[in-house]
Amino acid sequence: MTSHTPDRPRDLVLVGHGMVGQRFLEAFTEQPGAEGWRITVLAEEPRPAYDRVRLSALFDGKTAEDLALCPPGFLAEHGIDLRLGDPVTAVDRAERTVTTRAGERLCYDALVLATGSVPFVPPVPGKEAAGCHVYRTIEDLDAIRADAGRAGAGVVVGGGLLGLEAAGALRAMGVATHVVEFAPRLMAVQVDEGGGELLRRKIEELGVTVHTSAGASGVETGEDGRVRALALSDGRELAADLVVFSAGVRPRDQLARDCDLPVGPRGGIVVDEHCRTADPAVLAIGECAQTVDGRVYGLVAPGYQMADTAARALAGTAGSGFTGADTSTKLKLLGVDVASFGDPHGTAEGALDVLYSDSRRGVYRKLVIGTDGALLGGVLVGDTESYGTLRPLATAGKPLTTPAEQLVLPAGFAAAGPVALPDDAVLCSCHNVTQGAVRAAVHEDGCDSVAAVKKCTRAGSGCGSCVKQLTTVVNEELAASGVATRSGLCEHFPQTRAELYEIVRVTGITTFSELVDRHGGGEGCDICKPTVASVLASLGNGHILDGEQAALQDSNDHFLANLQRNGSYSVVPRVPGGEITPEGLIAIGEIARDHGLYTKITGGQRIDLFGATVDQLPTIWRRLVDAGFESGHAYGKALRTVKSCVGETWCRYGVQDSVGLAIELELRYRGLRSPHKLKSAVSGCARECAEARSKDFGIIATSSGWNLYVGGNGGMTPRHADLLAADLDREALIRTVDRYLMFYIRTADRLERTSVWLERLEGGLDHLRAVVMDDSLGIAAELDDLMARHIDSYQDEWAATLADPDRLRRFSSFVNAPGTPDPAVTFVPERGQIRPARPDEDGHVLAAPTPVLVAGSRLEVLTP
């Protein structure tokens, strides 16, 4: 048995270099006396630690390097010997040695097991067949990607967190996807029945077929030995070329079993509150450990807390032990926001539920309230905006000071105002950082920004779900100390959207990566990426599907069409001013007839064609472009329509040519990208048949000219537009609208409608009038130039896509069979047309699109 002598360093062996293992190394090397240890890390995977939580980002263009967690130079700085691809195969506790697969034998004074878990694959016949995969490592995803290239349909076995991520990945690769879940609902551990029902409906609307209360009973193979179908426990059979098993994980505890360390009845190396096993020289952390509360935690936040605990235990520094962890979760699955926190199922005696459900908007919120009035937990589906406040309230365990219904109703949360959290509320569950610790970092440690607080406390550096609340607390504390604060766009940019717009305009930056490298930090998120994409598009930086730009876009912009509930798309050609020739009507009718599309006149005087599949979009566009139509930008944050009445040309009450002006304005501002969508209308007289005063900018004819109204809004929060100027001639009107739009685009926040922007604008309407009409800021010439640049650089996005083979490659349902209809997109007849089939209906698939000729060759619709 080895023994430590003062003249040699102590040997620490860490088995496993995953997320928790890397976190342990960082925590241990920060402890006093860590330099007295010689650290060796033995890892099975061929690469250092990476962010397994963000594994699916590999399908969004990220690389293995993007996911790396081990900072450059970290290992060398601390003298850590990392050995990849050589896992430990045996532990001799009597001799305090480990043996690796390569046959090397190493001594240890302390051994830390961070072996994680292994995917659970149900014991079904055929599970080893070619085309069967698990979803755990980068190598697993590489194998799935390779098989997806020849797969028409795939099945994910497991409807939990990882299973739905896997389903999203398959769907994104053009594979018709099924999810099989043994429980009666998806994400059964995290959400309740109501939340699971809404989640299922929203996921099925995206084209993924869900089968609950069913398990896998066998994998059927073809003559080539590859998967051809999955048999279900209820007797059904799903045709599939690809099967991904994601039915949970099991603790990787075989090393402990082999050396007689106690393990739990359901697996997991038994540890005490300091993460020590029955052998004081051996510790276990992360998913391989069963903690003192009898649980094995499959989340990264508890693993990080165990890593910190073990680091302190080895170094002999003071600190609390690990007795349990918050298992709250917030994430986006297939584009659906889902969160659960505390006790989402209300298992405490006497607990009561406060529910809000809006199936029309796809929002479900449930709060669980204890008998003492404390918030015990909750479930959020479709809208997780309040998660950052609700989760700390649940962990605080104190009676609510705000009525529960105000925390669950849409308007009620805003009406409740700022919700006070006690200082002992855990703000960051990943690193167990309380609000009090965050406040202390500001007023005691001198941290003057969110970034400084993150570095000091590690709050917000884990999953990131607490960053919004963290920012609020830091800014409140700074304001209370008299320090001016800046409200950045997100954690990756300290600047507002308006400031980023100015940076891009002045510097000429043309890519997101350059902007985040020079003026931000990190890799971006679903807040800043589409915002920057909009800014770049507003300033005319190329086609939105070129290069890096394509990866930044929202879902509709990805395919230049509007995604519908069953995974099909709608196509809206531009019809300026609502004026259309009989030939144009006939062309649209023939296209709709030939492709079996549903047609509807919209409220903005356009014709919407519903039911197109991804493969059909280019063929439909080609026929529309050939007929003289172009994109109506119904999918973008851009100008939608300029609606009009018939004006003086036909109407006996009209006093000006409203149709002519509407057409001129729509053609002038078409394709203008902005913080939010823009709508306009022109009425030919005061009778206001075009409803101009409900628009972002509306124009009403007078006997002397035109009245210009701005800041109107229909929809959920209607607002009448305000009169900016009266009796303008045509030239003055267009000049004023030009400047108004460019000033809005230049200064508005992310996703801020003109109505909200105008009410927020300091000085309001008077200030706006002074800027755009009197040039009070001296920027009128710049605004004029920006609009002129937009008009000069405009190109129809449909036509530009059709002319570029590289752009066209993304428009295919299946990479291996371009032109094959997606079997998950089905329809039923109704009132002489089609509509999306409901989950309980047996719908039909639209026929494959007719090939078209482009520049003398057949149009090939392929994806990379």
Model confidence over 367-391: pLDDT tens digits?
999 999 999 999 999 888 788 888 8
At 485, the pLDDT band (50, 70, 90 cuts) reads: low
Q: For 326-419, CATH number?
A: 3.30.390.30
Between 267 and 842, whose confidence is greater?
A: 267
Are 163 and 211 within 8 A, CB to CB? no
Q: Name the most confidently modeled range: 33-37, 807-811, 843-847.
A: 33-37
User: To the nearest 10°, the Cα dihedral for 386, 389, 390, 392?
Assistant: 150
pLDDT tens figures, 277-303 = 999 999 999 999 999 989 999 888 899
CATH for 10-118+251-315 (3.50.50.60, 3.30.930.20, 1.10.760.10, 3.40.50.450): 3.50.50.60
pLDDT of residue 858: 32
**Separation CA 168–CA 177 (nearest Å):** 8
At 788, the pLDDT band (50, 70, 90 cuts) reads: very high
Between 749 and 855, whose confidence is greater?
A: 749
Q: Mean pLDDT across the stretch 422-434?
A: 79
**Separation CA 42–CA 100 (nearest Å):** 8
pLDDT tens figures, 578-597 = 999 999 999 999 999 999 99
Residue 809 has pLDDT above 90, yes or no: no
Q: Mean pLDDT across the stretch 767-771?
A: 94
Mapped onto helix, strand or coil, the DSSP state of residue 255 is: helix
Residue 2 has pLDDT above 60, yes or no: no
At 60, the pLDDT band (50, 70, 90 cuts) reads: confident
Q: What is the DSSP letter of 232?
A: E
pLDDT tens figures, 519-538 = 998 888 878 988 999 999 89
For 153, half-sphere exposure in the C-beta direction (CA atoms, 13 angstrom radius) is 19
At 849, the pLDDT band (50, 70, 90 cuts) reads: very low
Residue 7 has pLDDT above 70, yes or no: no
Residue 847 has pLDDT above 70, yes or no: no
**Separation CA 362–CA 383 (nearest Å):** 8
Structurally, at CATH architecture level, domain 121-247 sits in: 3-Layer(bba) Sandwich (3.50)
pLDDT of residue 261: 97
Residue among 24, 23, 20, 18 nearest 37 (CA): 24
Pairing of strands 844-845, 833-836: unpaired
pLDDT of residue 484: 67
Residue in the block written with tokens 């939990």: 160
Are 288 and 252 within 8 A, CB to CB? yes
Are 138 and 161 within 8 A, CB to CB? no
- By CB atoms closer than 10 A (0-12, 13-18, 19+), residue 65 is exposed
| Single-letter code of the amino acid located at 385 | E
Residue 415 has pLDDT above 60, yes or no: no
pLDDT tens figures, 432-478 = 788 888 888 888 888 887 778 888 888 877 666 677 778 878 888 88
Q: Mean pLDDT across the stretch 726-751?
A: 96
Give strand pairing partners of 857. 854
Residue among 217, 211, 235, 230 nearest 159 (CA): 211
Q: Name the most confidently modeled range: 208-217, 345-354, 714-723.
A: 208-217
pLDDT of residue 419: 56
Mapped onto helix, strand or coil, the DSSP state of residue 519 is: helix
Residue 747 has pLDDT above 90, yes or no: yes
Are 159 and 183 within 8 A, CB to CB? yes
675 — phi, psi (to 5°)?
A: -60, -30
pLDDT of residue 582: 94
pLDDT tens figures, 72-124 = 999 999 999 999 999 999 999 999 999 999 999 999 999 999 999 999 999 99
Query: Which fold does the domain 421-485 belong to in CATH?
Result: Arc Repressor Mutant, subunit A (1.10.10)
pLDDT of residue 555: 67
Q: Mean pLDDT across the stretch 243-268?
A: 94
209-to-167, 244, 500 alpha-carbon distances in Å: 10, 15, 41
Per mean pLDDT, which range of 265-279, 491-505, 700-714 is the poorest?
491-505
Residue in the block written with tokens 């099945």: 155
**Separation CA 483–CA 486 (nearest Å):** 10
**Separation CA 596–CA 612 (nearest Å):** 9
Residue among 830, 427, 863, 297 nearest 615 (CA): 863
pLDDT of residue 856: 30
Handedness of CA 389, 393, 395, 396 (dihedral sign): positive
Q: Mean pLDDT across the stretch 315-344?
A: 82
pLDDT of residue 781: 95
User: Which distant-in-sequence residues (6+ apart) come within 8 Å of 644 by Cβ?
Assistant: 577, 578, 579, 605, 658, 659, 661, 662, 663, 681, 682, 683, 684, 690
User: Which distant-in-sequence residues (6+ apart) come within 8 Å of 99 by Cβ?
Assistant: 88, 89, 90, 91, 92, 105
pLDDT of residue 149: 82
Q: Is 625 left (phi over 0), alpha (psi -120 to 50) or beta?
A: alpha
At 803, the pLDDT band (50, 70, 90 cuts) reads: very high
Q: Mean pLDDT across the stretch 352-381?
A: 89
453 — phi, psi (to 5°)?
A: -65, -40
pLDDT of residue 626: 96
**Separation CA 660–CA 579 (nearest Å):** 9
Q: Mean pLDDT across the stretch 305-320?
A: 89
Residue 418 has pLDDT above 80, yes or no: no
Residue 860 has pLDDT above 70, yes or no: no
At 614, the pLDDT band (50, 70, 90 cuts) reads: confident
User: Which distant-in-sequence residues (6+ apart) come within 8 Å of 318 by Cβ?
Assistant: 312
Residue 416 has pLDDT above 60, yes or no: no
Residue in the block written with tokens 């007797």: 235
Structure tokens, 84: 């990849």
**Separation CA 574–CA 577 (nearest Å):** 9
User: Which distant-in-sequence residues (6+ apart) come within 8 Å of 376 by Cβ?
Assistant: 342, 343, 346, 348, 351, 368, 369, 370, 394
Residue 320 has pLDDT above 80, yes or no: no
**Separation CA 378–CA 390 (nearest Å):** 8
Give strand pairing partners of 513. none
Are 809 and 167 within 8 A, CB to CB? no
Mapped onto helix, strand or coil, the DSSP state of residue 88 is: strand
pLDDT of residue 714: 84
pLDDT of residue 846: 64
| Single-letter code of the amino acid located at 751 | L
Give strand pairing partners of 209. 178
At 820, the pLDDT band (50, 70, 90 cuts) reads: low
49 — phi, psi (to 5°)?
A: -55, 140
pLDDT of residue 426: 80
Q: What percent of the chain has pLDDT over 90?
A: 56
Spell out the SS3 assignment of 702-765: ECCEEEEEECCECCCCCECCEEEEEEECHHHHHHHHHHHHHHHHHHCCCCCCHHHHHHHCCCHH
Residue in the block written with tokens 């009620």: 412
pLDDT of residue 567: 77
Residues 637-795: name the CATH superfamily.
Answer: Sulfite Reductase Hemoprotein, domain 1 (3.30.413.10)
- By CB atoms closer than 10 A (0-12, 13-18, 19+), residue 581 is exposed
Per mean pLDDT, which range of 115-129, 190-204, 262-276, 478-492 is the poorest?
478-492
**Separation CA 79–CA 276 (nearest Å):** 25
Residue in the block written with tokens 């997109």: 825
Residue 257 has pLDDT above 80, yes or no: yes
pLDDT of residue 843: 79
pLDDT of residue 542: 78
How many other CB atoms are found less than 10 A from the CB of residue 447?
21
Residue 705 has pLDDT above 90, yes or no: yes
At 721, the pLDDT band (50, 70, 90 cuts) reads: very high
What pTM was estimated for this model as a whole?
0.62
pLDDT of residue 862: 30
**Separation CA 399–CA 234 (nearest Å):** 46
Q: What is the mean pLDDT of the chain?
A: 87
Structure tokens, 692: 């101009």
pLDDT of residue 657: 95
pLDDT tens figures, 215-253 = 999 999 999 999 999 999 999 999 999 999 998 899 999
Between 551 and 1, whose confidence is greater?
A: 551
Are 753 and 716 within 8 A, CB to CB? no
pLDDT of residue 853: 34
Between 130 and 839, whose confidence is greater?
A: 130
Are 114 and 288 within 8 A, CB to CB? yes
Give strand pairing partners of 113. 15, 284
pLDDT tens figures, 24-36 = 999 999 998 888 8
Structure tokens, 19: 């997320």
pLDDT of residue 241: 93
pLDDT tens figures, 137-190 = 999 999 998 898 888 899 999 998 889 989 988 888 888 999 999 999 999 888
789 — phi, psi (to 5°)?
A: -65, -40
